[in-house]
């Protein structure tokens, strides 16, 4: 039974976390534990010394030992103070290292996840796991190490002093202890459920803050201030109520222990006064040593009684953290992956089928070739699978069947790094980092010189507005480019793609946020950029793709038409209908 319980404990989150932490920060915890042993020993020694202190003060024949006893007391307290300092320092360093290691592991896991994972998972949930999980991991290890080393040893040492000084009176301690432990057991039943609810409420607070920050314009336009306030207030009150419940459960242990300790001291006074302390004579020093040990045992016993409650409160966020760490990564690089060879950038989709988000076939048995150095436009109604094709080419997802090839190499067999180096991408939702203009552009090519960065900005017709910013290229753009207009952000994204100098260029509504004048300028820049570059353009405005070498009409995950502008116009099919709708020309 004991062996099975130990196996279950060790295979669970507690055993796993302790094993990892003690293995990685073993020397820090080793020093802290040595210091804890000294703290326990000096604490028990303090109670032991009370006999000599009282006897020296009350018995005339022992007055000559006062200096020796005083020196021993001073040395004892100095050792305890020094050991407490060392324990605190190294325990803090080990705990801080646990937080850092767990957060590094969590982010390393997250950054390697596929795009689909972030589409399915709310960012507030991820923030909770990274922050609360790591903090809980530290609390759990700290409470277990201090509980089983410092507090347990201190309690054992003090019990030894009590038994040695007054064996009969010590029976009271062994009566009070089990009663206290039994009183704490009922607290544990509700702690985990309360913590799960508290984690959900904290996640809701983060979610509301993110939605408020990112959607403040819509909130103002739709007059949703009261609605958002109600959501936030509800989440805050939920956290408050559950925090109060946890505090209530944790606080019960202290008054319970204090009441039982008071009963024990009262019992000691009564029994010692009436002379029921055994047949052997009792000195004042022995009685004082016993009472001191009994009173000093209260604190470690109280901490040990609360330890289970603290452990239960940490298991929920730790479980969330390990759930994320243990998730299998569906997008994995092949063990024998090779570098994508240098080539013109010809892309071929072979019998490609793919589905997600409840749609089994977003792409249905598609066969298509994007010729190297040519521009191919993908057009069609929204939801037809055009952006999904981009995701498959960049290997954000793996197809259910079929292959994607670049220069006759199956993307399953190439490294992620070499694939991404070969591709530049500009999406319809421009993202900028919270950094300077120069830093945002240089992310595309860290080795680029300042002049190369500026040349790319000129090509994207962004140099003029950048120069007019307060600090020019050293201007901070704010969170996701909050200090810039939509058109300015889009031109920076295009400049970033120009600077990357890749053989393949993917443009997903890249000029959608530009005014007519800026669009004309950027279009001229893109004409130069796409020369001899394999370019795929997704556009709903047909005016941006009329000069493409090839136009492909996508509908419900299938290619229904393909050809150049003249061919598709003469064909009079789906593209002609789209063309007539946008340019208001009646079909002939």
Evaluate if residue 193 carries a pLDDT over 70. Answer: no
Comparing CA positions, the residue from 570, 122, 575 lying closest to residue 384 is 575
The predicted pLDDT at position 267 comes to 64
**What digits encode the pLDDT tens for the residues 450-459?**
999 999 998 8
pLDDT higher than 50, residue 559? yes
Name the architecture of domain 347-583: 3-Layer(aba) Sandwich (3.40)
For the ranges 85-89, 315-319, 324-328, the one whose mean pLDDT is highest: 85-89
pLDDT at residue 420 tops 70: yes
Instruction: Using the predicted structure, report yes or no on whether residue 474 has a pLDDT greater than 90.
Output: yes
Distances 41 to 17, 53, 54, 77, 84 between C-alpha atoms, Å: 28, 18, 20, 11, 12
**In whole angstroms, what is the distance from residue 399 CA to residue 365 CA?**
10
Pick the CATH number of 2-325 from 1.20.1560.10, 1.25.40.10, 3.90.79.10, 3.40.50.620: 1.20.1560.10
pLDDT value at residue 1:
40
pLDDT at residue 86 tops 90: yes
Prediction pTM value: 0.72
* pLDDT at site 277: 45
pLDDT bracket for residue 467 (50, 70, 90): very high
Name the percent of the chain lying above pLDDT 70.
82
Distance (Å, whole) CA 305 – CA 150: 14
* Tens digits of residue pLDDT in 511-533: 766 677 777 777 777 777 777 88
Q: 430 φ, ψ to 5°?
A: -70, 130
Q: Which of 146-160, 252-266, 398-412, 429-443 has the lowest mean pLDDT?
A: 252-266
pLDDT at 450: 92
Looking at every residue in the chain, the average pLDDT score rounds to 81
How many Cα atoms occupy the beta-carbon half-sphere of 364 within 13 Å? 12
Backbone CA torsion sign across 547, 553, 554, 556: positive
- How far, in Å, CA of 238 to CA of 49, rounded? 51
The H or E element spanning position 384 is none
The per-residue pLDDT for 268 is: 62
More confident residue, 261 or 283: 283
- d(Cα 522, Cα 65) in Å, to the nearest integer? 95
pLDDT at 257: 60
Give residue-wise pLDDT tens across range 263-310: 666 666 666 655 554 445 567 777 788 878 877 887 887 788 778 777
pLDDT per residue over 346-359, tens digit each?
Answer: 999 999 998 876 66
pLDDT category, 7, cuts 50, 70, 90?
very low
Residue 5: which pLDDT band, with cuts at 50, 70 and 90?
very low
| Orientation of helix 13-24 relative to helix 2-11, angle to 10° | 70
Task: Provide the percentage of residues in the chain whose pLDDT is more than 90.
Answer: 18
**Would you call 126 helix, strand, or coil by DSSP?**
helix
At 3, the pLDDT band (50, 70, 90 cuts) reads very low
The helix (H) or strand (E) run that includes residue 551 is strand 550-555
Give start and end residues of each alpha helix (H) in 422-480. 437-442, 450-459, 463-467
Q: Does pLDDT of 216 surpass 80?
A: no
Domain definitions of the chain by residue range: 2-325, 347-583
> DSSP E strands: which ranges in 407-503?
409-410, 423-426
The answer to whether residue 338 scores a pLDDT higher than 80 is: yes
Average pLDDT over residues 435-451: 91
Q: Record the tokens describing residue 299, joined without a space.
A: 């604190």
Q: What is the pLDDT of residue 403?
A: 92
Residue 551 — pLDDT band, cuts 50, 70, 90? very high
């Amino acid at each position: 039974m004991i062996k099975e319980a130990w196996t279950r404990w060790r295979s669970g989150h507690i055993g796993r976390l302790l094993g990892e932490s003690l293995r990685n920060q073993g020397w820090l915890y080793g020093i802290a534990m040595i210091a804890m042993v000294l703290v326990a020993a000096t604490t028990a020694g303090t109670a032991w010394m009370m006999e000599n202190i009282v006897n020296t003060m009350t018995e005339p024949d022992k007055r000559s030992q006062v200096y020796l006893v005083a020196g021993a007391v001073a040395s004892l307290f100095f050792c305890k103070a020094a050991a407490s300092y060392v324990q605190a320092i190294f325990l803090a360093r080990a705990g801080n290292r646990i937080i850092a290691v767990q957060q590094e592991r969590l982010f390393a896991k997250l950054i390697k996840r596929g795009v689909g994972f972030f589409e399915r998972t709310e960012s507030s949930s991820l923030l909770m796991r990274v922050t609360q999980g790591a903090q809980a991991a530290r609390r759990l290890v700290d409470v277990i190490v201090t509980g089983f080393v410092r507090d347990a040893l201190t309690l054992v040492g003090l019990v030894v002093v009590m038994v040695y000084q007054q064996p009969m009176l010590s029976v009271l301690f062994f009566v009070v202890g089990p009663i206290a432990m039994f009183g704490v057991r009922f607290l544990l039943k509700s702690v985990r459920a309360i913590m799960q609810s508290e984690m959900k409420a904290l996640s809701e607070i983060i979610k509301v803050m993110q939605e408020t920050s990112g959607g403040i314009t819509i909130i103002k336009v739709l007059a949703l201030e009261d609605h958002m306030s109600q959501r936030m207030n509800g989440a805050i009150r939920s956290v408050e109520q559950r925090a109060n419940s946890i505090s209530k459960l944790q606080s019960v242990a202290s008054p319970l222990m204090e009441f039982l300790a008071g009963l024990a001291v009262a019992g000691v006074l009564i029994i010692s006064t009436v002379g029921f302390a055994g047949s052997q004579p009792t000195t004042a020093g022995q009685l004082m040593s016993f009472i001191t040990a009994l009173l000093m045992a209260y604190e470690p016993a109280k901490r040990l009684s609360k330890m289970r409650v603290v452990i239960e409160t940490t298991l929920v966020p730790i479980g969330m953290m390990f759930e994320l760490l243990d998730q299998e990564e569906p997008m994995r690089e092949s063990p024998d992956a090779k570098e994508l060879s240098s080539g013109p950038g010809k892309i071929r989709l072979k019998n490609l089928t793919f589905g997600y988000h409840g749609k089994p076939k977003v792409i249905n048995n598609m066969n298509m070739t994007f010729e190297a150095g040519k521009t191919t436009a993908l057009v069609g109604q929204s939801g037809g699978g055009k952006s999904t094709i981009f995701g498959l080419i960049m290997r954000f997802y793996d197809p259910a069947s079929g292959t994607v090839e670049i220069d006759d190499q199956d993307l399953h067999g190439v490294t992620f790094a070499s694939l991404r180096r070969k591709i530049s991408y500009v999406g319809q939702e421009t993202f900028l980092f919270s950094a300077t203009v120069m830093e945002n552009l240089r992310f595309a090519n860290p080795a680029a010189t300042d002049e190369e960065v500026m040349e790319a900005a000129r090509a994207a017709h962004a140099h003029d507005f950048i120069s007019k910013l307060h600090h020019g290229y050293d201007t901070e753009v704010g969170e996701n480019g909050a200090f810039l207009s939509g058109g300015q952000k889009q031109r920076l994204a295009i400049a970033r793609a120009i600077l990357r100098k890749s053989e393949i260029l993917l443009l997903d509504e890249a000029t959608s946020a530009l005014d007519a004048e800026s669009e004309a300028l950027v279009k001229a820049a893109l004409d130069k950029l796409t020369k001899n570059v394999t370019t795929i353009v997704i556009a709903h405005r047909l005016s941006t793709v009329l000069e493409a070498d090839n136009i492909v009409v996508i509908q419900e995950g299938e290619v229904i038409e393909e050809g150049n502008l003249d061919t598709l116009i003469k064909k009079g099919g789906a593209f002609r209908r789209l063309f007539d709708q946008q340019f208001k020309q009646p079909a002939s």
